[in-house]
């Protein structure tokens, strides 16, 4: 349940407890191994309360995904693409670093590919839909471009996380931008 700010304090505390317990569990185990019962035990609520707010764990994960996507989209909403793709990439790394371990697991973990794809699709739709250059491309070229950008940026982020974030973030951002911008700028120069 997305809070609007007009809810009773008990509702706010319940939702926050559910989300907090869920995030902690994502950090500890694969999504497929999380159960509603275990989540409810950790959140100190009963299952009936959980089901009052969420249809199932997928609905909770989907809501979390939507909130994470919206937060990033808000940060990059004023950047023009492809001209300011370097700034979008920088914001991605900065945003990811601020979100914590649960975001990292969702972004890097193999079991979250479906939810990660939804996040990527929302971000792409919000950013690239305003690009006149992008809109003029045939459908195949749009798909190819998005696959390249998404895979390059996410691969760089995953590799950085896998390596224990040994390289300074600024260096990773610079390397990622050199790869991505080289490809995107070359693509639009055709």
pLDDT band at 20 (very low <50, low <70, confident <90, very high): very high
Cα dist. 53→41, 97, 119 in Å? 16, 29, 22
Write the CA distances from 186 to 43, 141, 178, integer angstroms: 51, 13, 12
Higher pLDDT, 111 or 170: 170
The answer to whether residue 179 scores a pLDDT higher than 60 is yes
pLDDT above 90 for 27: yes
Q: What is the pLDDT, as a whole number, of residue 7?
A: 61
3-17, 35-49, 96-110: the lowest-pLDDT one: 3-17
Over the stretch 30-88, which tens digit does the pLDDT of each residue have?
Answer: 899 999 999 999 999 999 999 999 999 999 998 998 899 999 999 999 999 999 999 99
Full-model pTM: 0.87
- Tell me what the mean pLDDT of segment 21-36 comes to: 94
At the topology level, CATH places domain 9-54 in Arc Repressor Mutant, subunit A (1.10.10)
For residue 155, the model assigns a pLDDT of: 95
- Residue pLDDT, tens place only, 114-145: 888 888 989 999 999 999 999 999 999 999 99
């Amino acid at each position: 349940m997305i809070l609007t700010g007009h809810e009773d304090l008990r509702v706010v505390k319940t939702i926050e407890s559910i989300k907090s317990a869920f995030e902690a569990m994502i950090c500890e185990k694969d999504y497929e191994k999380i159960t509603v019962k275990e989540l409810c035990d950790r959140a100190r609520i009963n299952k009936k309360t959980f089901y009052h707010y969420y249809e199932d764990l997928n609905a909770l994960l989907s809501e979390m995904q939507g909130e994470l996507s919206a937060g990033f989209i808000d940060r990059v909403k004023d950047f023009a693409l492809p001209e300011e793709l370097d700034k979008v990439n920088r914001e991605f790394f900065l945003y990811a670093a601020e979100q914590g371990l649960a975001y990292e697991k969702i972004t890097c973990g193999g079991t979250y590919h479906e939810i990660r794809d939804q996040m990527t699709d929302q971000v792409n739709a919000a950013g690239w839909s305003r690009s006149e250059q992008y809109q003029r491309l045939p459908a195949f070229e749009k798909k190819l471009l998005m696959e390249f950008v998404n895979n390059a940026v996410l691969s760089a982020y995953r590799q950085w996380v896998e390596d224990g974030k040994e390289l300074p973030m600024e260096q990773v951002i610079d390397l990622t931008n050199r790869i991505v911008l080289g490809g995107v700028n070359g693509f639009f120069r055709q």
